[in-house]
Amino acid sequence: MKVGIIGTGYVGLPTGVGLAELGNEVTCIDYDSKKIETLQSGKLTIYEDGLEELFCKNVETKRLKFTTSMKEGVMGADVVIIAVGTPPHPVTKEADMKYIYSAATELAEYLTDYTVVATKSTVPVGTGDDIETLISKKNPFANFDVVSLPEFLREGYAIHDFFEPDRIVVGANNERAKNVIKELYKPFVGKTKMLFVKRRSSETIKYASNAFLAIKIHYINEMANFCEKTGADIMEVAQGMGLDSRIGPKFLNPGPGYGGSCFPKDTMAMAFMAHKNDVDMTLIKAAIEGNRQRKKQMAERILETVKDIENPKIAVLGLAFKNGTDDCRESPSMDIVSELINQGADIIAYDPKAMRTACIRLGNKIQYADNMYQPLKDADVLAVLTEWDDFRKLDLHQAGQLMRHKNIVDCRNLLDKEEAKANGFNYQGIGR
Ligand code: NAD
């Protein structure tokens, strides 16, 4: 099939690569000419495990193309996928729809034969109707349907999740559109659970899922606070809870709070939608506030270990919002580091993948290291903020020799607590 994808970010690019790999003719469109030039020159603009190999392969076979021209990507396409951002509105915190609306308006005039316009961006309930109206207004002759096709990929596992999704949800209001999407996802039929629902249900499933996961993280973080007061160990508690198939083991890792480009903005957007519809969603509101406080609490915990030291030097391991990605959007690390800087600490940080993206946000307010040992030199405390596997291998004996004071605040419970203690560290994990 011929597919146009609008937006070549963390969703659009892996989706484009994946659909090309399945044999489709894919054109990725982005108005960011720098991104398109980079992609056209055969280089990637984001880091994702396994993306590079498939990207190169499909560019070479010419099944995957990049352009800034909406016309080139949309004209003659069977399916046009909208994968632009829906960031929080700067004032109201609802989903800011300006990118969606402008993409819908721009694509309208290039719709020729019957086309399915599918929204992969996370959009408020009712957006499909708005897109329909916008397109019809701009091009009254357009023959099209709008489908909701929410994306559930996890950053860091985008390629894995593209080829082995837990489920594919399709919100289509008629059979014709449904059949086009069935054709696009033919390789998954019989292998993956496909759920066909009303468009408004599909739009809601995405927000309901993300808000639920955010609440689960908030819950385990509160439970970790409880364990700290009572002598229980949250890792054991989480393990015991996770063995219950009704609960499941995922999203029960205590940490510095949820982050990334989705949970923070989607919980806020969900709370806004609930308020607008006169529904009081107390759990979501509690998770949003609890998560805000969580990052503050983590910064306070780190600062407490160096409270008697003038100009403390803090070694930070981990800047990305989670492992496997270079994405620092809403990373707890960014908020925690900013708070540490505000309190007068010197920071030197290392992340295996996110140094470039962190630098865009933090600039020269911190120093950046080349490896995970460099920040430790003369540091007064080590703060572990992202759960990269590499950090598990940190040689704690060597770390102890490099540091000025042997303090560790392990916000991910990644290091071996007993080994840290045996090496003379004042070790603090989370909830234990
Ligand atoms: P992103 O910011 O990484 O990428 C969006 C891209 O769209 C940018 O490259 C931007 O230049 C481009 N763009 C915006 N308006 C455009 C227009 N009119 N024409 C052409 N290009 C345009 O965003 P993302 O992380 O890929 O997220 C996209 C959507 O998918 C969001 O709604 C997000 O909530 C949702 N989502 C994201 C994830 C994730 O893990 N990042 C997972 C599921 C769903």
Domain pair 2-197 / 206-432, same fold: yes
| Residues 188/168, Cβ–Cβ less than 8 Å | yes
The closest residue, in CA terms, to atom 11 on ligand 1 is 32
pLDDT, residue 5, reads 98
Which one of the listed residues 28, 227, 262, 328 is annotated catalytic? 262
User: Looking at the DSSP assignment, which residues form a beta bridge with residue 4?
Assistant: 27, 80
**Which tokens in the block code for residue 336?**
């925690």
What predicted TM-score, i.e. pTM, was given to this entire model? 0.94
56 is a catalytic site residue: no
pLDDT, residue 238, reads 98
The closest residue, in CA terms, to atom 1 on ligand 1 is 9
The closest residue, in CA terms, to atom 14 on ligand 1 is 84
pLDDT digits (tens, 9 = 90+) for 138-171: 999 999 999 999 999 998 899 999 999 999 999 9
State in words which class domain 206-432 has.
alpha beta
The closest residue, in CA terms, to atom 34 on ligand 1 is 122
Identify the CA nearest to 237 among candidates 246, 229, 249: 249
CA of 104 to the centre of ligand 1 (A): 14
Closest ligand 1 atom number to CA of residue 45: 9
CATH fold label, 2-197: Rossmann fold (3.40.50)
CA of 87 to the centre of ligand 1 (A): 9
Kindly list the protein residues whose Cβ atom lies closer than 6 A to any atom of ligand 1.
Answer: 6-12, 29-32, 35, 83-86, 99, 102-103, 106, 120-122, 151, 153, 155, 261-262
Query: Where do the structural domains in the chain lie, given as residue ranges?
Result: 2-197, 206-432
**Which tokens in the block code for residue 412?**
């991910």
pLDDT digits (tens, 9 = 90+) for 209-247: 999 999 999 999 999 999 999 999 999 999 999 999 999
pLDDT, residue 170, reads 98
CA of 8 to the centre of ligand 1 (A): 7
Identify the CA nearest to 318 among candidates 360, 364, 369: 369
Mean pLDDT of each 10-residue bin along the chain, 432 residues long: 97 98 98 98 94 98 98 98 96 95 98 97 98 98 98 94 97 97 95 97 98 98 98 98 98 97 96 97 98 98 96 97 94 98 96 96 97 98 98 98 98 97 98 94
